[in-house]
Structure 1
Amino acid sequence: MKFRKATQNDLSKIVEMIADDELGKIRENYQNPLPQSYVDAFKEINLDPNQELIVVESEQYEIIGTLQLSFLQYLTYRGGIRAQIEAVRIKKDHRGKGVGKTMFKWAIRRAKERNAHLLQLTTDKKRLKAIHFYEDLGFTASHEGMKIHFK
């Protein structure tokens, strides 16, 4: 597997993967051509040095996974950096083959390379299989997250 920074040419495949699960089908708007909002968001992410939108390619150069790492500078932890992992998705026909575990090991190494003192994530409480997967990787539910959704 090869990990690389996503390009705008990868955007349709990324959004397709993000939309291809029970919650993504509700939240996302995958269509061809993509809505401009995805293109605009990609451009903003791509310009920000603290954002890394990554694709994972198979040996045949097929995009089989994606994730986004955000590096957040804080004053706490003596001015430390937190890494946040989001939008981890694997193409359906590659799930259950160790791709996710490999992706998280890569993300952990990358967070350490950027001198982050921790890697954090949020997950929907409805994603019970994902929660167990994260726990098996060493993540702990140390905080209770809260959100306000704006329309």
Structure 2
Amino acid sequence: MKFRKATRNDVTKIVEMIADDELGKTRENYQTPLPTEYFIAFENIDADQNQELIVVENEYSEVIGTLQLSFVQYLTYRGGIRAQIEAVRIRRDQRGLGIGKTMFEWAIDTAKKRNAHLLQLTTDKKRPKAIKFYEGLGFKPTHEGMKLHFK
């Protein structure tokens, strides 16, 4: 597997993977051509030095996975940096092959190299398999997350 920074040419594949589950189907707008707002978001992410939008390729140079790693500077923890992992997806036909574990190992290593003091994530409570997977990697449910949606 090869990890690399996503390019504009990867956006369609990334959105396809994000939309390919029960929750993603309800909140994404995957179609051909892909709506412009995804490309605008990509340009913003790509320009931000604290964002790493990554794709994973197989031996045939096919995109089979994606994740976004964000780095947030805080005053707490003595000016620590928190790494946040989001939008972890694996192409449907590649799931269950250990790719997710390898992706998280990469993210953990990258967060440590950026001197983050922790790597955090949120997951929907409707994803019990994902929660079990994250706990198996050593993640602990230490806080109760809350959201305020504006739409």
Q: TM-score, normalised by structure 2?
A: 1.00
Q: Alpha-carbon deviations, 1:103-151, whole Å to 9, x = none?
A: 0000000000100000000000000000000000000000000000111
Residue type of the alignment partner of 2:39: V
Deviation at 1:81, TM superposition (A): 0.2
Instruction: Structure 2: give runs of 5+ residues left out of the alignment.
Output: none
Aligned ranges for residues 86-97 of structure 1 at < 5 Å? Answer: 86-97=86-97
Q: Residue 111 of structure 2 aligns to which amino acid in structure 1?
A: A
- Over the matched positions of the two proteins, sequence identity in percent amounts to 77
Secondary structure at 2:111 match in 1: helix
Structure 1 residue 71 and structure 2 residue 80: aligned?
no
Output aligned runs, 1:32-111, within 5 Å: 32-111=32-111
Shift of 1:8: 0.1
Distance 2:116 2:33 in 1: 37
Measured in 1, the distance between the counterparts of 2:13 and 2:36 equals 15
- CA shift for structure 1 position 58: 0.2
**2:10 matched to which residue of 1?**
10
Tell me the SS of whatever aligns to 1:23: helix
Partner residue of 2:133?
133
Write the distance in 1 (CA, Å) between the matches of 2:121 and 2:150.
21
Gaps of 5+ in 1: none
- Distance in 2 (CA, whole Å) between partners of 1:18 and 1:135 is 22
CA distance in 1 between counterparts of 2:72 and 2:62 reads 30
* Structure 1 runs, 4 residues or longer, greater than 3 Å off: none
Count of residues in Structure 1 that have an aligned counterpart in Structure 2: 151
